Amino acid sequence: MDIGKLKTVPIREVWKNEPRDFNKWLADNIDILSEALNLQIPLVPPDTEASVGSFLADLVIEDESGDKVVIECQLEESNHKHLGQVITYLTNLDARTAIWICANPRPEHARAIAWLNEVSPADTYFYLVRVQTVQIEDSPPAPLFTVISGPSEETKQTGRAKEKDAERHRRRLDFWTQLLSKSQSTSDLFMSISPGKFGYIQKSAGWAGITYKYVVSYRYIGVELYIDTRNPNDNKSIFDMLKEKKTAIEDAFGGSLAWDYEDGRRACKVKWRRDDEGLGAEEHWPSLQEEMIQAMTRLHEAIDKHLQQTMRATSQT
């Protein structure tokens, strides 16, 4: 059996003019593109050069559901201008899918399309497709479409996960902004601290690796003295010396504290925690923040003098 050799043909030898030659051919052969992209819904013949303000989209298709698909063609290396056009056409034409066809997609633009698929709504899709022309021996040239970047369930799941992370970060930032505003009007302990997006904010207790922390999650709030000097033996020594004053510290605090140390774990804590409400109870944020501020004030007043004594004793050994 004779097997022919596949070779590429310069694309401009097949379609010399993009709008007049390639776009017209694509409009008449949209099924070839649809098959290459594995689109589940067949595409009906497109309109060419649909108006978008002062711009013209190369092709606009309606799928069988009535949703629009915009196609931008570029028989050269991908560039920022066409990436912007793809986004402009999709948004202004209220389309659900954008297909960017080019002869030489750059990796930067492939990553941009992947990012757009992550952050866009679940029913919005972007494709970056490379077009080549090939032939076997002396056969007529044929188009070869290759999807360089496109949507997938994984990218949409990644996008949804990032969206949830962004929402968590926003809620934490709002929570800490409100708490610090309240706390800084009554105490200077956290006066120089800015709100952040994580589940805690902290202030140095005056020694490297020892901090006072506010902590919050979806279902709990807390305050703590956090001990992590990077030296497990030093951490345990400081913790043990403080724990010797446990009765005096808890009496001054006005309640029980959790003395959190485990063998094999470097850091240790002295903490107060409430486990029934947190970020999820936004309507109760003001009262939760007040409770945290009061708990931090009591913890600091109860433990700080003992911490200073402990650190002085530690530095002398």
The last residue of a domain, from among 119, 151, 183: 151
67 pLDDT band, cuts 50/70/90, is confident
* Structural domain boundaries enclosing 215: 164-316
Which three-class secondary structure state does DSSP give residue 124? coil
Do the domain assignments include residue 176? yes
Residue 191 shares a structural domain with residue 306: yes
List the single range of 51-60, 268-277, 285-294 with lowest mean pLDDT.
Answer: 51-60
End-to-end CA distance of the chain: 88
Q: Per-residue pLDDT for 41 more than 60?
A: no
- For residue 153, the model assigns a pLDDT of 72
Residue 144 shares a structural domain with residue 13: yes
Q: Per-residue pLDDT for 157 more than 90?
A: no
Residue 207 shares a structural domain with residue 127: no
Count of the separate structural domains present in the chain: 2
Q: What is the mean pLDDT of the chain?
A: 87
296 pLDDT band, cuts 50/70/90, is very high
Q: For the range 205-213, what are the long-range contacts, defined as Cβ-Cβ under 8 Å and sequence gap of 24 or more?
A: 205/304, 205/307, 206/308, 206/311, 207/311, 209/235, 210/238, 210/307, 210/311, 212/296, 212/299, 212/300
157-164 mean pLDDT: 62
Q: Per-residue pLDDT for 76 more than 70?
A: yes
115-142 mean pLDDT: 89
- For residue 195, the model assigns a pLDDT of 92
93 pLDDT band, cuts 50/70/90, is confident
Residue 134 shares a structural domain with residue 43: yes
- For residue 103, the model assigns a pLDDT of 95
245: domain CATH number is 3.30.1460
- pLDDT tens sequence across 136-148: 888 899 999 999 9
The last residue of a domain, from among 121, 151, 181: 151
Residue 91 shares a structural domain with residue 177: no
pTM greater than 0.75 (yes/no): no
52 pLDDT band, cuts 50/70/90, is low
Residue 169 shares a structural domain with residue 133: no
Give the number of other Cβ atoms within 10 Å of residue 268's Cβ.
22
Do the domain assignments include residue 280? yes
Do the domain assignments include residue 230? yes
Do the domain assignments include residue 157? no
Do the domain assignments include residue 303? yes
Q: For the range 26-34, what are the long-range contacts, defined as Cβ-Cβ under 8 Å and sequence gap of 24 or more?
A: 26/59, 26/71, 26/73, 26/101, 27/59, 29/143, 30/61, 32/143, 32/145, 33/71, 33/99, 33/101, 33/129, 33/145
Do the domain assignments include residue 158? no
Do the domain assignments include residue 71? yes
Residue 189 shares a structural domain with residue 241: yes
Q: Per-residue pLDDT for 100 more than 80?
A: yes
Residue 307 shares a structural domain with residue 168: yes
Do the domain assignments include residue 1? no
40: domain CATH number is 3.40.1350.10
- For residue 161, the model assigns a pLDDT of 60
Q: Which of the two residues, 313 and 145, has the higher pLDDT score?
A: 145
Residue 139 shares a structural domain with residue 179: no
Residue 189 shares a structural domain with residue 53: no
- For residue 155, the model assigns a pLDDT of 62
Which three-class secondary structure state does DSSP give residue 27? helix
185-194 mean pLDDT: 88
Residue 291 shares a structural domain with residue 170: yes
- For residue 156, the model assigns a pLDDT of 60
Which range is most confident: 16-25, 91-100, 142-151, 295-304?
295-304
- For residue 43, the model assigns a pLDDT of 59
Residue 102 shares a structural domain with residue 206: no
The last residue of a domain, from among 116, 151, 186: 151
- pLDDT tens sequence across 261-289: 887 788 999 999 999 899 989 999 999 99
